[in-house]
Amino acid sequence: MKLDRFLVCGLGSLGQHCVLALHQFGVKIVAIEQVAPQSWEVPNLVDLLDDLIIGDCRENNVLAQAQIQACRAALIVTSNEGVNAEIALAIRQLNPHTRLVVRSAKTNLNQLLSQQLGNFIAYEPIELPAHSFAIAALGTDTVGFFNLDGYWLRVVRQRMSPAHP
């Protein structure tokens, strides 16, 4: 199955800005929020999404509705670190390939989850902006992005051997 979707779990301020950052890269975005907000911090946020699901990100049926099997990455950015860990575990059970980008400041827990789940990275949102979460979701080789004359260019890290073409 083609992994061409990005899932954002939690649409608080950080989640909304992650959606905005991902949208700039032209990817398909699905979001899950437990309760439909009365208003959005990011104007017209719903228009940036391919799908908005109201439900609990920890539930398999909600993740299936979000088509987790087709998700290249999941940005798990609720304000509850325990819930974020539960979501990461639920997603990993359903899709062993999805990159997990998690909001968490629990260093020991993050190391354990990284060892057990693989393809996992955790950030403390106070230290990094939403763009960092979005870039982390795009892949392990992506270092950053920049705009040059209206074109978005991706900077990647690649090892080059002497025999590289």
Q: What is the CATH number of the domain that holds 88?
A: 3.40.50.720
Q: How many domains does the chain have?
A: 1
Distance CA 112, CA 117 (A): 8
Structural domain that includes position 23: 5-156
User: CA 54, 85, 47, 13: dihedral to nearest 10 degrees?
Assistant: 110
Distance CA 115, CA 150 (A): 40
Cβ atoms of 1 and 27 closer than 8 Å: no
Query: What was the pLDDT predicted at 94?
Result: 94
143 within some domain:
yes
162 within some domain:
no
Cβ atoms of 77 and 103 closer than 8 Å: yes
164 within some domain:
no
11 within some domain:
yes
What tokens were used for 98?
A: 């999805």
Distance CA 136, CA 131 (A): 8
Distance CA 40, CA 123 (A): 23
161 within some domain:
no
Paired sense of beta strands 71-76 and 99-103, if any: parallel
14 within some domain:
yes
φ and ψ of 116, to 5 deg: -80, -35
pLDDT tens-place values along the chain, 165 residues long: 677 799 999 999 889 988 988 898 888 999 999 998 888 888 888 999 999 999 999 999 999 999 999 999 999 999 898 899 899 999 999 999 998 888 887 777 767 777 777 777 777 765 545 555 565 565 556 555 555 676 656 566 666 678 766
165 within some domain:
no
